[in-house]
Amino acid sequence: MLAVIESAALHGIESYIVRVEVDISLGFSAFSIVGLPDAAVKESIQRVRTAITNSNFEFPLRRIVINLAPADTRKEGSAFDLPMALGILRGAEQIGDLHLPDFAAIGELGLDGAVQSVAGVLPMVMGARDAGKKAVLVPAPNAREAAVVQGIDVYAVASLHDAVELLMGEPREPVRANPFAQELEQADYGVDFHDVKGQEQVKRALEVAAAGGHNILMVGPPGSGKTMLARRLPTVLPPLNHEEALAVTKLYSVSGLLPRDVALLTTRPFRSPHHTVSNAGLVGGGSVPRPGEVSLAHHGVLFLDELPEFGRDVLEVMRQPLEDGKLTIARAAMAVEFPARFQLVAAMNPCKCGYHGDAVRACTCSSQEIRRYLMRISGPLLDRIDLHIEVPRLKEDELMGQPQGETSGEVRNRVIQARLVQQERFHALPPDVQVNAHMGSKQMRQHCKANDEVRDLLRAAIQHLNLSARAYDRILKVARTIADLEGSETIQVAHAAEAAQYRSMDRKLFG
């Protein structure tokens, strides 16, 4: 007898329906799986057989062939265990008429028949809904995550026996998600800008970066507060909207990093990989590609501390996502695209010992050693960082005094107002242009017009700092953001002057 139970599989972070076709026929007892299964899928033979027996069902001693369709796409993972077991029981006529119409099933089976959690349930359920499914069976630990998806009934099942009872007509209410709008607005990061002592100029630069979605580089000696400042940038960014929260949660679900008790991530990501990270760890990879750090920072902040210590080849692979907000990973069997629209915050010492230019401690590096240290960062990568800011050592009175700056909430309110101006400006453009940092040349000609005074100032800056064309564009974008923060429709000389000073370290450090 042939039985069909539908499930779902992942391609990158997107999902598609898989038909689990189970054929039980007369012949010597055998159990085989076809349809390009990977090792984890092939191992399900033993898990499914034992789970059925330990759930007080009878495993049919016949010839069993399971096809995972479409058969030309490689299948991986353990999420097909539950639909396989249900298909076998249905094919062996141990399950009668199904009372749950047009459903899909997802879940790994333990040897005792318990349905265990799997990674990627959120995008799988979204794919099932988009394919027209009315209901989906998911592991109980994944139920809150799955219930975030609207337009499909989500049923939590704890065991194979539990799933059979549901399909046989046991009355049960689907899992309902709580509204998340208030949670998104009240996201708690546990840190605040008010915690940072001094460094008012750096805080201002971070506010400008947050308002326009700009990348920023902080340069200063050890202990000056670079990491502390970077960790507080997400707290002044606007709250995630529901679409952004879903996109971030999908990435963490696929990566298996979504906490078990969390249905929807409500805070902007902050990723801080160590400088020993590999190319695949940073941008993603593997035989079956998985998201890397740049994608896990989507709609959030990617913090690279000790920037020159990262491998040069590792840093260079970031150039595509910094420009495009996405990246494509190609393998022989597939090519997948991951989103990577993040803000880069980089930090570094001014030299190898860390004290070049410090007012208190003398630098022990030679000029050649300093230049060799700084040359680890390529010019093209540096050009893609909009703001460069020096983070000096705190003075004694600042270090011993109490924090006196603004709170994150006060700064965030100004950032939100500036972002609203940009949303109105770019409302007719594609969604990949939402803030000033994303502007292309056409948008810049329209929205970054400069009067004669501004042009004269920028001409002097280009000559003095020996700026590239890309760096000049970055100054204009940052000036546009400063004007938005000030509520000005046009870029004034003061806005351009402040923007230019955020490039003054080009010559000081890398000239």
How does pLDDT run across 295-325, given as a tens digit for each residue? 999 999 999 999 999 998 888 888 888 888 8
Whether 355 and 461 share a structural domain? yes
Q: Out of 113, 132, 167, pick the residue that ends a domain.
A: 167
Whether 148 and 190 share a structural domain? no
Is pLDDT above 60 for 510?
A: no
> pLDDT tens digit string along 80-120?
999 999 999 999 999 988 888 899 999 999 999 999 999 99
Which is it for the CA torsion 491, 496, 498, 502, positive or negative?
positive
Whether 132 and 221 share a structural domain? no
Is pLDDT above 70 for 170?
A: yes
Is pLDDT above 90 for 508?
A: no
Which residues have C-beta within 8 Å of that of residue 182, sequence separation ≥ 6? none
Average confidence score pLDDT of the chain: 90
Instruction: Specify the pLDDT at position 179.
Output: 62
> pLDDT tens digit string along 347-378?
999 999 999 888 888 899 999 999 899 888 88
Residue 173 lies in a domain: no
What average pLDDT does the segment 330-349 reach? 88
Q: Out of 115, 140, 167, pick the residue that ends a domain.
A: 167
The larger pLDDT score, comparing residue 75 to residue 398, is at: 75
Whether 6 and 121 share a structural domain? yes
Place of tokens 């000790």: 306
Specify the pTM: 0.90
Among 306, 303, 302, CA closest to 220:
306
Question: Which tokens go with 481?
Answer: 């953001």
Whether 195 and 108 share a structural domain? no
Q: Is 246 left (phi over 0), alpha (psi -120 to 50) or beta?
A: alpha
Which residues have C-beta within 8 Å of that of residue 7, sequence separation ≥ 6? 17, 18, 20, 79, 80, 82, 83, 104, 105, 106
Q: Domain of residue 138: give its range.
A: 2-167
Instruction: Specify the pLDDT at position 481.
Output: 97
**Which CATH number is 45's domain given?**
3.30.230.10
**Residues linked to residue 65 through DSSP beta bridges, in sequence order:** 23, 32
Residue 172 lies in a domain: no
| pLDDT grade for 464, boundaries at 50, 70 and 90 | confident
Is pLDDT above 90 for 9?
A: yes
Residue 11 lies in a domain: yes
Please report, rounded to a whole number, the percentage of residues in the chain having pLDDT higher than 70: 96
Tell me the C-alpha distance between 336 and 52, whole Å.
Answer: 36
Whether 356 and 281 share a structural domain? yes
Residue 225 lies in a domain: yes
Residue 175 lies in a domain: no
Place of tokens 């770019």: 426
Q: Phi, psi at residue 302, to the nearest 5°?
A: -105, 115
Number of structural domains in the chain: 2
Query: Residue 23, Cα to own-chain centre: how many angstroms?
Result: 41
**Residues linked to residue 330 through DSSP beta bridges, in sequence order:** 335
Tell me the C-alpha distance between 41 and 34, whole Å.
Answer: 10
Instruction: Specify the pLDDT at position 188.
Output: 83
Whether 409 and 448 share a structural domain? yes
Whether 393 and 254 share a structural domain? yes
Whether 61 and 188 share a structural domain? no
